[in-house]
Structure 1
Amino acid sequence: MTLLLLALVPGSAAAERRMALVIGNDAYDQVPRLEKAVADATAIAETLTAQGFETITATDSSRRQMNRSISEFTGQLQAGDTAVLFFAGHGVEIDGENYLLPTDIIAPASGERDFIKSESIALSALLDRIRATGARTTIAIIDACRNNPFQNTTGRSIGGARGLGRITAPQGTFVIFSAGAGQLALDELTEDEVAENSVFTRLLLPRLAQPDLELRTLVADLRTEVRDLARSVNHQQFPAYYDELLGDFYFARASSSVQETLGPDNATTDHMRADFDLARSIGTPEAIQVFLDRYTDRKDEFTYRMALQLREKDESDTRLAPEQEPDPAAQEPDRKTIIRETQAALNAAKCSAGSADGVPGPRTRQAFQRFITDTGAALKATDLGTAKALQAIRQSGSRTCNAQPAAQPDAAVSRAQPAGFNIAGNWQFRASCPLFIKTTGTASYTRTGPNSFRGTVNDSLGQSATTLVTLTGRKMKFVLNWATVTTYASGTLAADGRSYSNVASNGCTATAWRVS
């Protein structure tokens, strides 16, 4: 696919540099100190660096130090580069202008608005400085929409009671605020929450690392999740954005060699091809139809015609199927017999497959996956209904579903060895996937070791999976065994252990929170 795309793109433009300036201020001298701004900046800087950005990071910076970092940043930018700015700290809107505050800002006396202006960094002036370098694309992410720090409350704003004001973004610039005009951005959902990052940043982080997630899609999903999470504690927070960007933008690129040669129009075409590849890999008529419905305005393109051919072939195969000579080795009665005997064998192995009716329903598939997971059998989910799988179950001997350490109660495991974070319990989640698929659902986990868990996942699309989760500190690794496919995901658990976010190998992003 990469070679095909390169062949279709005439010439090869040099890849632009991707640079980022990340600033986080907690340790204010004369206004309320913050607790999460430096952690937010550190996490953002690490994520951007991992995506290939040359990153300048400044934390707890005075006005002179902020100006020095800004000068270093703009001094390295060149025409055609991509520039990303992230600021977490106190902010203020005065007379229609937004100002970013250094740590040595002095609490002004009444009426000293001009003093604050002169001692702060005007956001519009900073964006103009970046634009003057000739940078082709500027992305500014500002997490500074907090309460007025001069009212002796925790937060990040001065001038008005809370929040930053609207902004006019220069051409080629995309600006994201962590809350809407006049809104308060939450650092935490509850007073006893000890999450490391603010609500906005903790939901932003996994999206920055998701391959082929276009900026506008990223922001649309992010705004909805922030709004819904804030509503769960009866708070209004809906991030604002101001779009003057030319073309598409991706923080994470699945194939740098392709992205470096694609202009805005070709990048859109590549996105269409990526969706086609996804629909074809899913392989169902419904997936192909979703693709065709999405790109109905581009019927003349080669990729669309290929999808039409696939749909026509599926329809042709369906019409011809009853007239085809049946293969004795694949007749349904034989497979149904194997399924029935497999269900009986799974029940004998204490894997709870349900009644031996010959129908490979969700319970049978889950029991088969449980057998594979618990016994370590060299089988795949797609082996269900084969003689090989039936023989393996019958020959399992003492290796049964409840003969593994996984069946030990949590308390026994805890007494055996010290444990780290404990995600055992019931969770709810919200996920966004390619092709505009969104789903909600539940997950339940039980501890199988000091830092390992087994669970079940059920979503609103009627799908279910068994899952294995491994924790290393707060880093999470997931293996999810669905009925016909296995997916992998990585994520981060919040410091309080009550929420996490992850990104899966199929492109889905999810946020989960504990309910019991």
Structure 2
Amino acid sequence: MMKIWTLIIAAATLIAAQPAYAETRLALVIGNGNYTAIGALDNTVPDATLMAKTLQEHGFEVTLLTDTAQSDLTQGISQFGRDLRAAGGDATGLFYYAGHAVQSFGINYLLPTDAALIDAADLSLVAVPADAILRQMQSARNKTNIVILDSCRNNPFENVRNLDDNGLAEMNSPTGTFLSYSTAPGAVALDGLDGNSPFTKALAREIPVPGVPIEQTFKKVRVSVIAETAGLQTPWDTSSLTNEFIFAPKAALTAEQVEEQQLWNSVQGSSDPVQVMLFLRGYPNGQYQVEARALLQTLMTAELAPTPEAPPVVVPAPEAALVAAAPQAPSASEEELIAQARRSGTATDYQAYLDAFPQGIFAELARFEVEILAQKSDAAAVAAAEPAPTEPADDQVALNRALVAQSGNDVMGLTFTTPFPVGGPPIEGLSIPEIVMLSPLYSPIEGLPEELWKTQTCSSCHAWTREALCTQGKTYVTAADDSAVSKDHPFGGVFKRGLKGWAAADCP
């Protein structure tokens, strides 16, 4: 007996956990395994159930049908077409099928659980052509459709004369369709030994990965299935998509993350280890710390490596002197100590390296790590102590905060070239492009030596193009609160409020 499950995201707690999707997403998922006249399949219904759950968790309204007879299978496809047409042109439709399927004369047929066949000529009378789903999708005229066929486990009609083709035939699909087969055309797929097929198991694992285009998702599935089946099964796909589709969008960045990203974009191409050190000082626990530390290690190694010198023209030297003058590679014990420090990340191990090799190749890197770890320890101790006085110690910071509090709506609605009417010196009376060419009012990073920032313009620290500033301002507009706007800034909080007002008007 057919079982029908319509999985609609309705619970308030589940809705709250879902990201917002720009388009309506509809899916029809079918799993046929309990066949009456041909061999049963153990994993197809669990496969369909797993896929329905995965799609539901990623914004799809899912109809799940299991063990469908011919009339139920036809009715389910017809209803899916009506739902897709009603959803409009921006909707995304997805059809998934796990079960027996065969091909005859280049046409693929999905087999309902009551399919029984004695003569190949009767195939179209007892099965449902796979093209039926494509016709329903084409009639909906929506932009994006996805068809996934995890079938071809074997040919259940191998004893029927003139029906001995293996696998499925490749289908022609309308524009805007992504077609995926669990195995190559004409080949046989595996049902799986652990409750799910290799294909569906890999697909359910890859769909939740955020920010991956559908083409890359199925490429990763193909690699996984080939590895799991030792090359016996190669998933196949064809695409006529004209729009980008991503199952799981990336989460939106916060205002502070956008600032960090912009600074990292300007630093990651640098060949100056000081720039990378400054970035790590500002974001010691940020989202790019792993990449930044790896880049710093590379730059420090190159910086400290001996520079080859031209050999003297005619200055013979004793062999011992030549050996002493040759550049020395780090010894095994030095490499082991620095490797241990990198693994543990503790100040004790970095200091142990410095004690043993104060002039070693990695000494500067070790000193930097010890300093950073000491700063983290001090900051944690301060946070655990009594709250700091509410009055700021720095007069300039106090003035900037007071100006922010008084600015109100004065900086809302600015254009890119409008002079700031408030903010005090030096930003008052200057426009955004003029302000970003100024030097900071105070250190952008606590403890940074004055010679590294007092004579610099802020545009040299950030990729502050008009587009980047507009993006930064828009994060302030969409932020849940004003915590990012009110955070201290080298030009004071009024500048951030000005960016927010400018971005609120779409950055004129």
Larger radius of gyration: 2
Question: Normalising by the residue count of structure 1, what TM-score does the alignment of the two structures yield?
Answer: 0.48
Question: Normalising by the residue count of structure 2, what TM-score does the alignment of the two structures yield?
Answer: 0.49
Q: Which has the higher helix share?
A: 2
Q: Which has the higher strand share?
A: 1
